[in-house]
Amino acid sequence: MLIVMAFFASLHSFDLNTFMFALVVQGLGSIFEFIGYIKTKNILISYITHLCTDVFIFSLAIMGVA
């Protein structure tokens, strides 16, 4: 999981600062999705968690907050 997080962060970064930001922020989200899957053994929980996170961030962007 850590290797995948580092690879994903490297795809979303342009320098060391954005790499660290992507690793921490996106990595924390991945950990919560992973924990949801481990506790329930249901991939739908991870999907719903990710969907809710994306909707929340998209809503902030639409409102001009983020």
Distance between alpha carbon 24 and the CA centroid of its chain, in Å? 9
Q: Is the pLDDT reported for residue 52 higher than 80?
A: yes
The model's confidence at residue 66, banded by pLDDT at 50, 70 and 90, is: low
pLDDT in tens, 1-11: 778 778 877 88
Q: Model confidence over 7-41: pLDDT tens digits?
A: 877 887 788 888 888 888 777 778 888 888 999 99
Q: Is 30 exposed, middle or buried (0-12, 13-18, 19+ CB in 10 A)?
A: buried
Residues 12 and 22: beta-carbon distance below 8 Å: yes
Torsion sign across C-alpha atoms 39, 46, 13, 59:
negative
Establish how many alpha carbons lie within 13 A of residue 44's alpha carbon, considering only the half-sphere containing its beta carbon: 1
